[in-house]
């Protein structure tokens, strides 16, 4: 969508409840998580160790890094357990006409 600042990521129907999926949006690795009929977009790289969060497990509004078990809040990106101490970026999501869009531009654009 030119000029809107958001990027098409996928069709809503490809997302399964509680199962994170990795996508690239404007060259940024993003994990999309559908939970309780909401979709969250979180940066797909753990802030503690460079591993994919989309390979972790989802519980409610959290995703757990499979390597060291740090959990991150899908709504804020905040780490909830050590060893992670730094948040990961989260991105605004819009669902329109069965499509999922995310705004993954620089923080100043969000």
Residues β-bridged to residue 57: 64
Give whole-number Cα distances, 52 to 3, 20, 39, 109, in Å.
30, 10, 18, 25
Tell me what the mean pLDDT of segment 91-104 comes to. 97
Reported pTM:
0.90
Going by pLDDT thresholds of 50, 70 and 90, the confidence category of residue 109 is very low
CA distances from 13 to 46, 51, 87, 95 (A): 26, 26, 29, 11
94 φ/ψ angles, rounded to the nearest 5 degrees: -130, 140
Q: Give phi and psi for 107, each to the nearest 5.
A: -55, -30
pLDDT band at 108 (very low <50, low <70, confident <90, very high): very low
The domain locations on the chain are: 7-101
What are the backbone angles phi and psi of residue 57, rounded to the nearest 5°? -105, 145
State pLDDT tens for residues 37-59: 899 999 999 999 999 999 999 99
Superfamily of domain 7-101: Rieske [2Fe-2S] iron-sulphur domain (2.102.10.10)
Residue 1's alpha-carbon distances to 8, 21, 23, 64, 102, in angstroms, are 7, 22, 17, 32, 11
**Peptide linkage before 46 cis (omega within 30 of 0):** no
Residue 2 has pLDDT above 50, yes or no: no
């Amino acid at each position: 969508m030119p000029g809107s600042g958001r990027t098409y990521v996928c069709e809503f129907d490809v997302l399964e409840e509680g199962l994170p999926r990795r996508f690239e949006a404007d060259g940024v690795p993003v994990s999309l998580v559908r939970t309780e009929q909401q979709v969250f977009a979180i940066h797909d790289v753990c802030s503690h160790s460079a591993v994919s969060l989309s390979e972790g497990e989802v519980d409610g509004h959290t995703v757990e890094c499979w390597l060291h078990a740090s959990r991150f809040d899908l709504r804020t990106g905040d780490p909830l357990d050590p060893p992670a101490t730094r948040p990961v970026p989260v991105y605004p999501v819009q669902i329109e006409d069965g499509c999922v869009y995310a705004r993954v531009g620089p923080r100043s654009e969000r």
